[in-house]
Amino acid sequence: MVASFTDGARTAVLAGPVRTFTEARFTKAKVVTDRWVRLLPRPWTAGAEKAHWFTVWFDAERTSTETDLMAFAHEYLHRAKPKKDAQGTAYAGDAGFGPDNPDPTGDKRLEESDFYDYLGIPYTFRNGTTVQPEKSRYRAVDCSGYMRLIYGYRARFPLAPSDTAGDGLPRTSNAMARSKVGVDILALTGQRPRSLGKLQPGDLVFFEIDARTGPRLDHVGMYMGLDTDGKPRFVSSREEADGPTFGDRGGTARLDGNGFYAAGLRSAKRL
């Protein structure tokens, strides 16, 4: 395979040099892959291979080893080194999940940390809405905030300021899964998908794992492909690991078998 494209989606999978992703803190599993996930300038359609915009993009990307979406994701794992832009904003580096919860009867850490909280800077969305970061959430992203950091802030996929305002990738896992953004790869039926065969690296995978929220989809991650044991593995930001991980703290980060996350898998989407 040289490249794979999907009608209506902007994520493309290209063949490239083999890489190894590891996270010794939380798992012995490794993902060794020659797949590189990149974002097309516009959604793919049949015949696009003849269009000027595509040929220019493909000529530049087919042999590129510049950081892709999968590598972006791993720039926020435990002990990842900080990276700063020309303005001094640290846009990568070890991320937490969220501040400690002052309520001892609730979850250990609070959700609702978005990408701009991690960055610590105000952000203006395409519809003109400007949001301010919370100081207590600096360097933190919850699961959907992590995906928005990777796909939106880093790769420049359009982002919506909330679940109901603006256009682009919504704020929460539930809204992402149910929105018309991207292409549904594993249909949302309310049940665990019977087959994972249609998944490819870079797909968003959605879970229903918190009984307190009913049928609401309450977790999202990025599918990475098969690990060295032949198991489908994903990366996400988790409370138990205090941030992004593809390890097994709080549940094995696999989509097959009878584990916590595998049992809670409900759908997948390709942006």
**Residues whose CB falls within 8 Å of the CB of residue 156, separated by 6 or more in sequence, listed in order:** 39
Whether residue 255 contacts residue 234, with contact meaning beta carbons closer than 8 Å, is answered with yes
Q: What is the pLDDT of residue 259?
A: 95
Q: pLDDT at residue 182 above 80?
A: yes
Residue 185 contacts residue 199 (beta carbons within 8 Å): yes
The pLDDT score that the predictor gives to residue 256 is 97
Burial class (CB in 10 A: 0-12, 13-18, 19+), 78: middle
Q: Residue 155's pLDDT band (boundaries 50, 70, 90)?
A: very high
Q: Is the pLDDT of residue 2 over 80?
A: yes
11-22 β-sheet, strand order? 3-4, 11-22, 30-39
Beta strands in 88-218 (DSSP E): 90-92, 123-124, 130-131, 183-186, 204-207
106 has a pLDDT exceeding 80 = no
Mean pLDDT for the chain overall: 96
Three-state secondary-structure class, residue 239: coil
Instruction: List the alpha helices (DSSP H) in the chain.
Output: 52-61, 69-74, 115-119, 143-147, 173-178, 260-264
Query: What pLDDT shows up at residue 267?
Result: 98
pLDDT value for 101: 84
CA of 153: how far to CAs of 91, 113, 150, 169, in Å? 9, 14, 6, 11
Identify the pLDDT of residue 214: 81
pLDDT of residue 44: 98
Q: Residue with structure tokens 């395979």?
A: 1
- Give 36-67 pLDDT, tens digit per residue: 999 999 999 999 999 999 999 999 999 999 99
Distance separating alpha carbons of residues 45 and 8, to the nearest angstrom: 6
List C-alpha distances in Å: 132 to 138, 172, 239: 11, 18, 23
The whole-angstrom separation of Cα 70 and Cα 228 is 17
pLDDT in tens, 183-200: 999 999 999 999 999 999
